[in-house]
């Protein structure tokens, strides 16, 4: 137990700020976080509730741009209202980071729990990353392992890009999959989830720029920047946080998109 508390302290001491993105009506979730994130010095950060949003109004105010969102989407689809709300919430955090000049920031969504097996390697991960990181994924999904046949997929993706059938850049295609780096880190590829990640001030500024107006889901703008080599990012092995809905399908995901 003492060892676990020390690891929590290491996280608290390392980051300038720990945000948990949520919405005001998720009161039951806020109570559960007291146990799920016990010991962590986090601040609840209230984003926007999708029930209070109107897409037409967001477009008029240039908060969201459906044309750009459709252009950016792999299958040419506009963003759903819940995705827009989530992206606005993350952007609000980025703007708060810049206002306060924080430089090492941990961002969590309200449906994560601490992976007690993973957290014990936090200090080692920091040593391995050094100062050369812009983003650290502590939770993620997809593309963390490159199997032999994935090279064939990439080859055909490059052909599709060449003839205009896919929107990803050639850089993104080349960087889709995580690459070996160190014992507890891999160079990040194109991964889902924005549920638990660390960024620096530089990345916060870039995210604000890319999301003005909003045109990417929160967990797509990050891998866009990563795979186009705009930032240096890693995934952690093992994960330090996990989404409750990933191992308990009866549990609702983050209220940020609900």
Return d(Cα 95, Cα 91) in angstroms, integer.
6
Q: Name the percent of the chain lying above pLDDT 70.
A: 97
pLDDT of residue 255: 79
Rg of the chain over Cα atoms, rounded to whole angstroms, equals 18
pLDDT in tens, 61-70: 999 999 999 9
Which phi and psi angles does 137 have, rounded to 5°?
-85, 120
Q: What is the model's pTM? A: 0.96
pLDDT of residue 43: 98
| CATH code, residues 2-143+178-257 | 3.90.550
Tokens (6 digits) for 17: 């700020």
pLDDT in tens, 108-128: 999 999 999 999 999 999 999
The three-class DSSP label of residue 137 is strand
Return d(Cα 238, Cα 183) in angstroms, integer.
10
Q: Is the pLDDT of residue 254 over 90?
A: no
Q: Is the pLDDT of residue 207 over 60?
A: yes
Tokens (6 digits) for 248: 């308990």
Say if CB 85 and CB 257 are below 8 A apart.
yes
Say if CB 39 and CB 5 are below 8 A apart.
yes
- Angle at the Cα of 67 from the Cα atoms of 233 and 177, rounded to 5 degrees: 25
For the chain, the domains span 2-143+178-257
Task: State mean pLDDT over 213-240.
Answer: 98
Q: Name the percent of the chain lying above pLDDT 90.
A: 90
pLDDT in tens, 43-61: 999 999 999 999 999 999 9
Q: Is the pLDDT of residue 179 over 90?
A: yes
> What ranges in 101-237 are assigned the alpha helix state H?
122-129, 150-162, 170-174, 201-210, 218-227
pLDDT of residue 55: 97
């Amino acid at each position: 137990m003492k060892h676990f508390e020390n690891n929590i302290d290491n996280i608290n001491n390392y980051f300038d700020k720990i945000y948990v993105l949520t919405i005001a009506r998720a009161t039951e979730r806020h109570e559960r976080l007291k146990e799920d994130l016990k010991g962590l010095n986090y601040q609840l950060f209230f984003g926007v509730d999708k029930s209070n949003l109107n897409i037409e109004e967001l477009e008029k105010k240039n908060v969201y741009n459906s044309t750009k969102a459709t252009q950016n989407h792999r299958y040419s689809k506009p963003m759903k209202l819940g995705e827009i709300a989530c992206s606005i919430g993350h952007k609000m955090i980025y703007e708060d980071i810049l206002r306060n000049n924080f430089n090492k920031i941990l961002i969590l969504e309200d449906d994560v729990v601490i992976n007690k097996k993973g957290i014990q390697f936090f200090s080692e991960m920091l040593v391995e990353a050094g100062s050369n990181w812009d983003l650290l994924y502590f939770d993620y999904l997809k593309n963390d392992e490159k199997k032999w046949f994935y090279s064939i997929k990439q080859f055909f993706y490059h052909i599709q890009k060449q003839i205009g059938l896919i929107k990803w850049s050639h850089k993104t295609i080349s960087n889709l999959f995580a690459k070996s780096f160190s014992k507890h880190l891999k160079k990040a590829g194109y991964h889902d989830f924005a549920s638990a990640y660390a960024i620096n001030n530089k990345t916060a500024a870039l995210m604000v720029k890319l999301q003005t107006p909003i045109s990417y889901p929160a967990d797509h703008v990050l891998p866009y920047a990563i795979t186009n080599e705009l930032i240096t990012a890693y995934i952690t092995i093992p994960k330090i946080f996990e989404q409750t809905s990933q191992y308990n399908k009866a549990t609702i995901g983050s209220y940020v998109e609900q």
